[in-house]
Chain A
Amino acid sequence: GAVVSQHPSWVICKSGTSVKIECRSLDFQATTMFWYRQFPKQSLMLMATSNEGSKATYEQGVEKDKFLINHASLTLSTLTVTSAHPEDSSFYICSASGSESGYEQFFGPGTRLTVL
Chain B
Amino acid sequence: AQKVTQAQTEISVVEKEDVTLDCVYETRDTTYYLFWYKQPPSGELVFLIRRNSFDEQNEISGRYSWNFQKSTSSFNFTITASQVVDSAVYFCALSEALYMKTSYDKVIFGPGTSLSVIP
Q: Which residues of A are interface residues toward B (Cβ below 8 A)? A: 1, 34, 36, 41-46, 49, 91, 93, 95, 97, 102-105, 107, 109-110, 112
State the main secondary structure of chain B at its contact with A. Answer: loop
Residues 71 to 119 of chain B near chain A (Cβ within 8 Å): 91, 95, 98, 102-112, 114
**A44 and B91: CB pair below 8 A?**
yes
Chain-A contact segment, one of B19-27, B40-48, B51-59, B62-70: B40-48
Residues of B in contact (CB 8 Å), total 21
Residues 25 to 47 of chain B near chain A (Cβ within 8 Å): 37, 43-45, 47
**B112 and A43: CB pair below 8 A?**
yes
Q: Given contacts A103-B98, A109-B43, A110-B43, is CB(A43)–CB(B107) below 8 Å?
A: no
Given A44-B109, A105-B107, 11 new contacts (CB under 8 A): A34-B106, A43-B91, A43-B109, A43-B111, A46-B107, A49-B105, A102-B103, A103-B98, A107-B37, A110-B44, A112-B43
Q: Given contacts A43-B91, A44-B91, is CB(A109)–CB(B44) below 8 Å?
A: yes
**Chain B residue at minimum C-beta to C-beta distance from A38:** B43
